[in-house]
Structure formats: structure tokens, C-alpha cells
């Protein structure tokens, strides 16, 4: 199986690379060779790689900056996936794509299901939703993996930001009224690889039968404040010297950002269990694994 994997310098792409390498020959062009901000170049590149499967975790992910770079965010997150999906539909090749909880407006407290009505609050969310819809419209065999609050032991993310700030400051003030579930890139990659290996070399057939949108996240829920508190506790238990003594819960209103974010980012994981018989890893367990990896490196 020839697999085209984008975004391997990012969190999810990096976690996917070694797992997909066990399932086929992986082509992982960086943005120099496969630039999502130039959608018109992608069909030619796809002809050259001639993949049997496209996996697209690459995206414009700068949520606040997207408010000022709308055109670029839409090109990368909507037009590029549209071109890939049209190519995939023409060639009969399945496509796995990554999407986000930020397609929802965060109203209520119920977990968002795959068929819940999206209503993005931000340009980033709108651009990702446009990508999802373009893939569905082009209609290759597709699996759109919706996930939330992604982090990994490496890279610029909430986990590493909190560890750095907790080393520098006695007090952290963290938003406590946005609820969701932190999900390690490793859990997302393990889930996608698990779904693919269950396809026994026939991803197109499996994705055609059981594809569509699929929520993939860790189990449980917390706030950013709860996540930060758990990070500090875990890292301290593993011997990290942290200055932080207090983590103060604050409201979203006290921490204004350029882009609005959903207050309720809970994703229903019912379909993951029902269709793929996969059980979600508790977020605390996934965090412990990443912290162990960080502590081992320190
Ligand atoms: N991060 C989250 O909290 C979160 C939450 C829900 C869903 N998601 C979704 O999950 C997916 C993976 O997210 P992530 O956290 O792994 O992202 P990430 O760490 O920010 O990585 C993004 C990747 O996309 C690549 N990329 C950006 N612009 C590109 C372009 N013009 N051409 C080619 N590649 C480009 C980046 O390459 P460079 O290194 O060259 O920039 C990088 O490899 C995305 O689809 C995202 O929307 C993320």
C-alpha cells in the first residue's frame, strides 16, 4: 500500500508516521513538495506519488492568527482538502482527514455527535468545517476524524507551555469554563492505525462501509484549568523542579483571545465504540504516558 501522509512535522502527523510505516510505503512530503497553501499544485503531486491511501493531518492550526489570515486558512484547510478529495474520488482512493471540535459553537453541555449541527465561532473552525464539507461533497471513501485539544510530548502545545510557565512562575491563571478532553497525538495515531490494520489491507472497502465522520478523543472531560493542574501534579511527581504554587481558575472573559472558542468541546465517543469496537483511553492515562516520556528525556 502506498500511503501519502501530510503534516509529519506536526503533532498528529509525527505520531502517525512510524505506525503507518508498518502498514505500507509512506510518502511524507513536507510543505516544500506538497504545499497546501497552493491547492492548484496538489493534483499533479498526487499523480506523481500515486498513493493508494491519503492521510491528511496537515492544517493551518494557528487559531487566533487565522482571524487575520482568513484567506490562507481557507486555502490550506478547505481548498487543499477539496482538491485531494476530488483526486481521491477520481482515482477510487480512500482519504483520512483530521477535523476539530472547533466546528461547533460549544452551546449546551451534551457531547457533540458526528451528526450534530456545526456552527463554528472562529475563522479556523469555519475553514475546517469547509474542508470537511468539501470532502463529503467530493465523496471519495473518507474518514473524517474529529478530535480535540491535541498535545504531544514534543512541539509547541498546551502541555509544553504549562511546563515552561510552571517552571518560571509561582502563579498560573488558567481558563476553567471551557470543558473538553485533552487528547494525545499518540492516542489519535494509535486509533487511526488500529482502524487501518483492522481493514486488512483493504482500507477503501472498510472506509466505504464504515467511514464518514468519526469522533476520536480520549475518555473523560476536564477544563484547561483541570488539564494544567494535572500536568503540574504529574511532572512534579516525576521530579520536575517547578516554581508554580497556585493555579488559579479564571473565566474565558478574563483571558480574551482573538478567536472565540467553544465552551463545550465534549465529543461523543459512542460511534467509536459501536462501529469500531474501540474504547477511549482515559485522558489522565494518556497524559501520564506523555509526562513519562518527558521526564525520561529530562
Ligand atoms: N492542535 C489541536 O488542538 C487540534 C484539535 C482538534 C483538531 N486538530 C486537527 O488535527 C490535525 C493535526 O493537528 P496538529 O496539532 O498535529 O497540527 P500541528 O502540530 O499544528 O501541525 C500542522 C502540520 O500541518 C503542516 N502544514 C501547515 N501548513 C501547511 C502547508 N501550507 N502545506 C503543507 N503542510 C502544512 C505543518 O507543517 P510545517 O511544520 O511546515 O508548518 C505541520 O506539519 C489538524 O487537522 C487540526 O486541524 C488539532
Ligand 1 pocket member 69 (CB < 6 A):
no
Q: What residues are paired with 248 via a beta bridge?
A: 173
pLDDT of residue 232: 96
**Contacts for 60-64: CB closer than 8 Å, 24+ residues apart:** 60/36, 60/124, 60/127, 61/10, 61/124, 62/124, 63/102, 63/122, 63/124, 63/257, 63/259, 63/261, 64/257, 64/258, 64/259
Q: Is 124 a catalytic residue?
A: yes
Residue 298 binned pLDDT confidence (cut-offs 50, 70, 90): confident
State whether the beta carbon of 98 lies less than 6 angstroms from ligand 1: yes
pLDDT tops 80 at residue 297: no
The pLDDT of residue 264 is 98
Report percent pLDDT > 90 for the chain: 92
Q: Virtual CA dihedral for 49, 215, 155, 281, nearest 10 degrees?
A: -120
Q: 30: left (phi > 0), else alpha (psi -120 to 50), else beta?
A: beta
Question: Distance between CA atoms of 60 and 113, rounded to whole angstroms?
Answer: 24
* Averaged confidence pLDDT in the chain: 96
Give the percent of the chain with pLDDT over 70: 100
Q: What's the alpha-carbon Rg for the chain, to the nearest Å?
A: 19
C-alpha of residue 56 to centroid of ligand 1, in Å: 9
The Å distance, Cα 169 to ligand 1 centre, comes to 29
Per-residue pLDDT reduced to its tens digit, 233-282 = 999 998 888 999 999 999 999 999 999 999 999 999 999 999 999 999 99
How far, in Å, CA of 65 to CA of 48, rounded?
33
pLDDT digit string (tens) for 59-77?
A: 999 999 999 999 999 999 9
- Region 31-43: mean pLDDT is 97
Q: Which residues of 121-157 are buried (b: 16+ CB within 10 A; e: fewer)?
A: bbbbbbbbbbbbbbbeebebbbbbbbbbbbbbbbeeb
Q: Is the CB of 31 under 6 A from ligand 1?
A: yes
pLDDT category of residue 202 using cuts at 50, 70 and 90: confident
Name the least confident of 28-37, 83-92, 165-174, 286-295.
286-295
| Domains of the chain and any CATH numbers | 2-153+182-219+266-280 (3.40.50.720)
For range 6-26, the mean pLDDT: 97
**Minimal CA–CA distance to 3: which of 190, 192, 132, 164?**
192
Q: Ligand 1: which of 6, 28, 61, 153 to mutate, most ligand atoms within 8 Å of CB?
A: 61
Ligand 1 atom index nearest CA of 156: 19
Mean pLDDT score, 185-214? 92
Amino acid at each position: 500500500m502506498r500511503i501519502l501522509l501530510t503534516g509529519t512535522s506536526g503533532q498528529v502527523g509525527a505520531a502517525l508516521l512510524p505506525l503507518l510505516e508498518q502498514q505500507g510505503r509512506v510518502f511524507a512530503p513536507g510543505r516544500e513538495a506538497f504545499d497546501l497553501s497552493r491547492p492548484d499544485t496538489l493534483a499533479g503531486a498526487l499523480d506523481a506519488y500515486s498513493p493508494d491511501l491519503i492521510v491528511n493531518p496537515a492544517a493551518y492550526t494557528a487559531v487566533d492568527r487565522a482571524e487575520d489570515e482568513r484567506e490562507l486558512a481557507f486555502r490550506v484547510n478547505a481548498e487543499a482538502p477539496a482538491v485531494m478529495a476530488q483526486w481521491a474520488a477520481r482515482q477510487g482512493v480512500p482519504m483520512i482527514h483530521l477535523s476539530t471540535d472547533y466546528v461547533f459553537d460549544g452551546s449546551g453541555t451534551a457531547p457533540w455527535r458526528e451528526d450534530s449541527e456545526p456552527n463554528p465561532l472562529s475563522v479556523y473552525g469555519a475553514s475546517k468545517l469547509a474542508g470537511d464539507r468539501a470532502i463529503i461533497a467530493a465523496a471519495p471513501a473518507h474518514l473524517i476524524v474529529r478530535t480535540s485539544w491535541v498535545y504531544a510530548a514534543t512541539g509547541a502545545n498546551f502541555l509544553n507551555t504549562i511546563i515552561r510557565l510552571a517552571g518560571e512562575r509561582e502563579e498560573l491563571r488558567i481558563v476553567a469554563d471551557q470543558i473538553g478532553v485533552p487528547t494525545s497525538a499518540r492516542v489519535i495515531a494509535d486509533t487511526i492505525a488500529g482502524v487501518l490494520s483492522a481493514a486488512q489491507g483493504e482500507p477503501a472497502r472498510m472506509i466505504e462501509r464504515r467511514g464518514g465522520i468519526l469522533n476520536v478523543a480520549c475518555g473523560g472531560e476536564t477544563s484547561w484549568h483541570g488539564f494544567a493542574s494535572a500536568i503540574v501534579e504529574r511532572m512534579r511527581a516525576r521530579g520536575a523542579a517547578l516554581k508554580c504554587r497556585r493555579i488559579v481558575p479564571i473565566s474565558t472573559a478574563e483571558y480574551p483571545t482573538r478567536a472565540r472558542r467553544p465552551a463545550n468541546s465534549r465529543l461523543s465517543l459512542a460511534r467509536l465504540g459501536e462501529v469500531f469496537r474501540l474504547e477511549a483511553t482515559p485522558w489522565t492515562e494518556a497524559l501520564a504516558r506523555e509526562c513519562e516520556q518527558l521526564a525520561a528525556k529530562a
